Amino acid sequence: MKITSSLMTPIKSESDALIVSFFLGESFSPSAKDADELLNKQITQLHKNRDFTAKAGEVLTLFTNNGQRVVLVGLGKKSKCDLGTLQMASKNAIKALVKTPAQSVSNYISANEFENIDKATVCKIICIAASHAVYRYETTKNFKKDNKHSLKSMDIYADEKLASTVRHASSIAIGVEVSRELGNLPANICNPDYLAKQAEDIAKKYDNCSLSILDKKKMEKLKMGSLLAVARGSRNQPKMIVLKYNGADKSQKPHILVGKGITFDTGGISLKPGSNMDEMKYDMCGAATVIGTFVAVAEMQLPINLICIVPAVENMPDGDAYRPGDVVTSYSGKTIEVLNTDAEGRMILCDALTYAQEFEPQVLIDLATLTGACVVALGHVASAVMSKQSQLPQDIINAGIEIHDRAWPLPLWDDYQKQINTSFADMQNIGGFAAGTITAGCFLARFTENVNWAHIDIAGTAWENKKEGATGRPVAMMSQYLINESQK
């Protein structure tokens, strides 16, 4: 969806639809008054009759004499309206339009009226939520002709001062959509080769980008024994994708994002149970996040240097697959006893993280659907952030709060480290039942000792359920984090 901003009033708007917002029990905003005029005071009447009371998320569509749609959307009590309410209400308003033939909408959820949220934040949330509501996965589904999504453009009511905010938000929205689409694609399409091809297209499309790819041969030469162990079971050969964006002086050290790209996780020889195994097509959502964030940054042309690294591997059982009990030597030289082939994410990430450090990052962050335990700990609300640093995780968490794509810390104290000690190698790849998310983080910490590093477990946030599919989280949080970094 194309997003623009202007100061076109409802009376003058020629869009197919208008969105006008209301707080419960408050007087109408200037835009709402305009819309009420267009509708011959119907809105006043609806309020009087209590047919529309502006409860949070409530939506009602009316028509002007010229056939223009006016979507009324409730924001609830002004004093209680937070980012979550705004996000939900914005989505509802757009969802009321996506099934209609309306192609354009003017959005008058007015940034000026909020008590608890600043104008720029209102704009960002509205834009990203709108784009979210418009997206529908279509690639492998035949839709009937009368089930077309028509909404193509949204103009939001905002002055020149907010124009750059709107541009940023619309870039983030594009990144979120890229991430959702990659996440939703089935594993027979979205395999390591496919991810590499997408990265190639992105590097070509945007200015200041370049791409390099390590194939299996190159990784064998480099002795990335941990990643290669996971890859052995699959006919789909692994790829290490390295996307670079140069938006700042070469002397500026890069921010590096590493994303887990398990294009399908069967568990390997430690085979997962059959129920819901299909959801493991989402096990590349760390990769989707870093690629989506890369696209957002390239769209914004932020003045930073960014490198996104995606180890793309499929985890399959096979006569040649790695087995429980195997000891492998990682790229770092450290040895790992494989006690469960289903703890494969950390096995590919450790080699990617070691490789990333050769680019001397100022910040190194990995994102991964790493542990089921993370869903138990934080549900589908917050991503988990783990780090041995103090500032970095705080900066990430603050960015998440700012754009309502939230994360929360878990500790990486050394007390947990003993759970991954073993007599047969430098470490084992699982830490037992207790604190499964943290011990996975502790494993990665052993490969990132001298670098400003954070690990983000997105197992609970990257996808919602079978119907909603990939969420595109946490592209918004990561993009906001990098925007904040670029302004330091």
- Tell me the catalytic residues: 272, 346
Least distance to ligand BES from the beta carbon of 307, Å? Answer: 24
Distance CA 354, CA 351 (A): 5
Q: With beta carbons less than 8 A apart as the criterion, state whether 347 and 336 touch.
A: yes
Residue least distant from ligand BES (Cβ): 372
314 part of the interface to Mn ion, by CB under 5 A: no
Distance CA 66, CA 441 (A): 59
For residue 469, the partner it binds in Mn ion, Zn ion, ligand BES, none, with Cβ less than 5 to 8 A by kind, is none
Beta carbon nearer to Mn ion, 345 or 393: 345
Residue written as token pair 């294009």:
263
Residue written as token pair 């008054």:
33
Cα–Cα–Cα angle for 384, 388, 393, rounded to 5 degrees: 45
Least distance to ligand BES from the beta carbon of 240, Å? Answer: 18
Residue written as token pair 């007390």:
415
Least distance to Zn ion from the beta carbon of 344, Å? Answer: 6
349 part of the interface to ligand BES, by CB under 6 A: no
402 part of the interface to Zn ion, by CB under 5 A: no
| Binds ligand BES by CB under 6 A, chosen from 71, 343, 476, 477 | 343
283 part of the interface to Zn ion, by CB under 5 A: yes
340 part of the interface to ligand BES, by CB under 6 A: yes
Least distance to Mn ion from the beta carbon of 266, Å? Answer: 8
Least distance to Mn ion from the beta carbon of 313, Å? Answer: 11
- Say what the alpha-carbon torsion angle 478, 480, 482, 485 is, to the nearest 10 degrees: -140
Antiparallel, parallel or unpaired: β 2-6 and 59-63: unpaired
119-127, 161-169, 284-292, 363-371 -> range binding ligand BES (CB under 6 A): 363-371
Antiparallel, parallel or unpaired: β 427-428 and 363-368: unpaired
Strands in 304-412 per DSSP E: 305-315, 327-329, 335-337, 363-368, 383-387, 407-409
345 part of the interface to ligand BES, by CB under 6 A: yes
Token pair listed for 426: 């430098």
Q: With beta carbons less than 8 A apart as the criterion, state whether 452 and 444 touch.
A: no
58-66, 115-123, 176-184, 372-380 -> range binding ligand BES (CB under 6 A): 372-380
16 part of the interface to ligand BES, by CB under 6 A: no
Q: With beta carbons less than 8 A apart as the criterion, state whether 263 and 284 touch.
A: yes
- 84 HSE (CA, 13 A, CB side): 5
77-85, 134-142, 178-186, 335-343 -> range binding Mn ion (CB under 5 A): 335-343
Beta carbon nearer to ligand BES, 264 or 453: 264
- Dihedral of alpha carbons 350, 469, 86, 67, sign: positive
Cross-strand pairs, 427 = 336
Q: 106 φ, ψ to 5°? A: -105, 125
Least distance to Mn ion from the beta carbon of 341, Å? Answer: 8
Residue least distant from Mn ion (Cβ): 342
30-38, 126-134, 219-227, 334-342 -> range binding Mn ion (CB under 5 A): 334-342
Q: Using CB under 6 A as the criterion, which residues of the chain lie in contact with ligand BES when the complex forms?
A: 265, 283, 340, 342-345, 369-373, 375, 430, 436, 459
Q: Using CB under 5 A as the criterion, which residues of the chain lie in contact with Mn ion when the complex forms?
A: 265, 342, 344
Q: Using CB under 5 A as the criterion, which residues of the chain lie in contact with Zn ion when the complex forms?
A: 262, 265, 283, 345
